[in-house]
Chain A
Amino acid sequence: MTDVLLIGNPNVGKSTLFNSLTKSNAHTGNFHGVTIDAESKVIFIEKEEYKVTDLPGMYSLNSFSFEEEVSKNKVFELKDKASILVIVDACSLRKNLYLCLQLQELNIPFKILLNNYKEFSKRNKLDIVKLEHLLGVEIEIINAKKIKATKELFEIKKYKRELPYLVDIKQKSSESLLKDDEFVGLINDWKTEVVEKEEKIEKLKEEIVIARYNYIDKILNDSLEYDKNFIYGLSKWDKFITNPFVSLIGFILMFFLSIYFVFFIVGAFFNDKLVFCFENFVSNPMMNTLYLITDNIWIIEFFRQGVFASISTILGFVPQIALLFIMLTMLEDSGLISRMCYSLDDMLTSVGLNGKAVYIILMGLGCNTMSSLISRDMNEKNLKIKTAILNPFVSCSARLPVFIIIASAFFGQLSFLVVSGLYLLGLVVLLITAYILNKTILPTKSNDMMLEFPPLRFIDFKHLLIEGLKSIRDFLKRITGIIISMGIIIFILSHTKFSLMYTDNVMDSILYLISSKLTFLFVPIGLNNAGIVASLIVGILAKELIVSTFSVCNNAIGEKELIASLTLSTSLICLNKASAISFLIFSLLYCPCISTLGVIKKETSSFYMWLTIIGGFVVAYLISMFIYLTLTKGIFVSLIVGFIISLIFVSLIYLIKKVKHNKCLTCNKCKF
């Protein structure tokens, strides 16, 4: 089997090429750092096996972040046996050739695939044969979207090309008293660290970079006629879009309008149709067949409530969730996310995050698990931990059904404002918590941010459709996997007595009795209902389960029936306006789902995973209690409670700072 590695600068089209070669659907986007880990697929060409690997983008072999480290390690691991294809964006040739030169210095055989050549050739003229000769590397023009895998594409011709500047550098390195192996280490990945010669080495490293760029300029002068005023990534629209006021107003408007249209207009339209189809063509015929086959109440009720009721309630939200992902894909593909990162960097820096967090927050709107994983893109440890553990405050798509059902049940026409308010509350809590963490246990040491601006692009509708279908597929996988399996467990627990006998009355069930033991904890926030407590507990496994627990407990099939049941005092789970708001806030902010916790543990440590769980519960509890008390007992009582809580909180922060300060006095290394 031959290994094929796709490497190159970020956002040059590596994943697009990977998708074309392997006919896959790897996530692509017009943003720096979309691919965060290596992704491989085996393909066959004329009975020969090729393992194509898409690697995260890297500017050079001097890895600066976790993804670049992954790519670099893979290149060094397979440099002697793999076909290395370097994808180069023709429009930013100078910057892209830097990595090529590094590979050439190490005599690693590779081929340059020149992508985006059509756009480049509108303004520039490149003599490819001459460039091939000067670089000593084969160059092939490709269109990453349309190329097909061939044997010829993966064949690498080996050239031997001496790079003239290397002789000078070697001379200088021996003047700096570096041994030969230290020099190779320096060229390889900058890892030569000879402490006594540190200053000389740093100077040498700088000289190597300058020598490489001088050589690139020399070969481009010989082979390229180019428009010197052309700036890749900027368009005439950018003057307008990046205007601070326009971007701020634009983003706020976009936020509210998209929630309104996606969730309440377009989504609701498809929602009804989908539920109608499911009930008439799937659940009803299957239930009718089941009635003919058996009269066992366990089996009938299990399918009616445990399976079809849960699926029908959740399935209705597929259009909204697909539209949410399509919207995020639109933002990513158009290049607007980088503009948002730039515009919001100021604000985020002041709370100890930086502009890159915008991408992570936006991805969190889709799935918290995925966005916690992307936090590894942050190149400072505390910054990475903060983004990973705070990101669950962003409301993910799985919480959307809970919000829409409860908001529709209690706030009618105002439900749009309630849902928007919840999204905003999540963001505000994230920013405040980031600020507190920055001032206490996780101060950001280096907030440096440099982010390349991708060009604004028209939206590719085919890609949108693919991403939309992918989100539907993933969501259906979840509801057929977790929801059905957990639905079975919830159904059994909610319809079985402690004597293991079937019961129609959920109040006699194991689930209700266990939950009722914990209910006293939730009385101060207005959730004195065992069914609600049960739904919050199972919500830790997956947030979609909150709604399916509602359906099972209230014996309601479909969204409309469930909405109606929530306001009835005879239902097991019934709320009033104040407790509904309290529940919405609590479910927004409390512990993230188990898969997100797993990622947080993997990316940070067990301590931060527990901090996320406990911190989430505390924050959710305090805010819900404050709002609930304001709505029921009046602002005066809630202010007194709020004052006492703040006092405890401030004392706690002071205590943490004091402990840390004492530690610092003893270690004498840091200023606190």
Chain B
Amino acid sequence: MKLYEAKLNKQAKIISLDIENFNTKLRLMELGLIKGQTIKVFKKSLFRKTLLVVFNSACFTLNANLAKCIEVIYD
């Protein structure tokens, strides 16, 4: 399941990051978005494209471009 399809406030586990741009992928990993870590969608924006997600004990804004590249599974 892609991250943007994930239910609100339900903890999920990161399966993979299929991001074309390797630098972006690396940056996300450096922020703590690593396979096996947990992630939670806290809010979705008005058009439900931008997500407010929680990982690595912090909250980040991720836009649709990135959210659709992150695959997750519920714990």
Contacts and interface: CB of A to CB of B under 8 A. Distances in A.
Q: Does B bind A?
A: yes
A248 B64 CA distance: 19
A342 B50 contact: yes
Interface string A325-366: 000000000000010011101110100001100000000000
Interface stretch (A203-211, A311-319, A433-441, A514-522): A203-211
Contacts of A450: 27-28, 31, 60-63, 66
B46 A346 contact: yes
Contact of A230 (B49, B57, B65): B57
Interface in A172-214: 190, 202, 205-206, 209-210, 213
A667 interface: no
Given A342-B50, A446-B65, A449-B66, A234 B30 contact: no
A233 interface: yes
A222 interface: no
A94 interface: yes
A59 B65 contact: no
A345 B65 contact: no
Contacts of B32: 94-95, 213
A209 B35 CA distance: 11
A242 interface: yes
Contact of B26 (A205, A338, A341, A452): A205
Contacts of B24: 446, 448
Interface in B6-36: 21-32, 34-35
A98 interface: yes
B49 A349 contact: yes
A231 interface: yes
Contacts of A590: none
B1 to A, nearest CB: 20
A445 B22 CA distance: 15
Nearest to B51: A342
Nearest to B66: A448
Contacts of A243: 43
A144 B44 CA distance: 34
Nearest to A447: B65
B45 A343 contact: yes
A258 interface: no
B61 A451 contact: yes
A95 B31 contact: yes
Nearest to B21: A446
Given A59-B30, A346-B45, A232 B50 contact: no
A64 interface: yes
B7 to A, nearest CB: 16
B34 A453 contact: no
A60 interface: yes
A203 to B, nearest CB: 11
A231 B63 contact: no
Nearest to A451: B61
Interface in A428-473: 446-453
A223 interface: no
Contact of B45 (A59, A209, A239, A244): A244
B19 to A, nearest CB: 8
A451 B66 CA distance: 12
Nearest to B54: A231
A20 interface: no
A271 B59 CA distance: 43
Contacts of B27: 59, 62, 64, 450
B43 A62 contact: no
A94 B57 contact: yes
A345 B29 contact: no
Given A346-B46, A349-B50, A60 B61 contact: no
B58 A206 contact: no
Contacts of B43: 238-239, 242-243, 342
Contact of A244 (B42, B46, B56, B64): B46
Interface string A483-513: 0000000000000000000000000000000
Contacts of A343: 45-46
B26 to A, nearest CB: 6
B52 interface: yes
B30 A62 contact: yes
Given A248-B46, A450-B28, A92 B57 contact: yes
A447 B68 CA distance: 13
A345 B50 contact: yes
B59 A453 contact: yes
A346 B50 contact: yes
A602 B26 CA distance: 29
B45 to A, nearest CB: 5
Contact of B59 (A62, A209, A355, A452): A452
B30 A202 contact: no
A453 B60 contact: yes
Nearest to B64: A349
Nearest to A455: B59
A209 B61 contact: no
Contacts of A355: 50, 61, 63
Contacts of B64: 349
Contacts of B30: 59-60, 62, 98, 209
Q: Chain B CB within 10 Å — which of A190, A354, A447, A449 has the most?
A: A449
Contacts of A205: 26
A458 B61 CA distance: 22
Nearest to B29: A209
Contacts of A59: 27, 30-31
Interface in A208-247: 209-210, 213, 230-234, 238-239, 242-245
A345 B54 contact: no
Nearest to A201: B22
Nearest to B33: A450
Contact of A451 (B22, B54, B60): B60
A342 B52 contact: yes
A35 B50 CA distance: 26
A190 B60 CA distance: 24
B62 A449 contact: yes
A205 B63 CA distance: 24
9 contacts: A209-B29, A209-B34, A231-B57, A243-B43, A346-B46, A354-B63, A448-B63, A452-B58, A453-B61
Given A62-B26, A446-B65, 9 more contacts: A59-B31, A210-B34, A349-B64, A355-B50, A355-B63, A446-B24, A449-B61, A449-B63, A449-B65
Complex A-B, nearest 3 residue pairs according to Cβ-Cβ distance, in ascending order = A244-B46, A453-B59, A345-B50
